[in-house]
Amino acid sequence: MPVHAFDNVTPYERLFVTNSSSHTKPANSSSQSSSQSISTQPALRRSTRSIQPPAHFQDYVCNLVSFSSLPSTHQAFLVHASSSKEPSSYHEASLDSNWVQAM
């Protein structure tokens, strides 16, 4: 189809250009025959904006402590504290002597 065929059509009509006619019609037109098909699609446009991370990530601080910089006694405490599972019900708490003593 010639390039000038898109001069006087709307973006909606551009989606429904047919092979058999230089005149464009919407796809839901009652006069369109079933033998007509879509011949071209407009090319997708890539954004020209520069991609930057959000401003709140520029001075991002992570609360991560390296275990290697801590004394071995502190490392053992942190391992035990992070591996302990807190009970989710009274029944589970009643089975643990430490929780019974705390209650």
- DSSP per position, 10-47: -HHHHTT-BSS-SS---TT-TT--TT--B---PPPPPP
- For the stretch 47-89, pLDDT in tens is 888 888 888 777 777 777 678 888 888 888 888 888 778 889 9
- For the stretch 7-46, pLDDT in tens is 677 777 777 665 444 554 555 555 555 455 566 778 888 8
CA–CA gap between residue 11 and residue 1 (Å, rounded)? 16
Give the mean pLDDT of 80-99. 86
The pLDDT of residue 90 is 92
Question: Other C-beta atoms within 10 Å of 32: how many?
Answer: 15
The pLDDT of residue 91 is 92
The pLDDT of residue 64 is 76
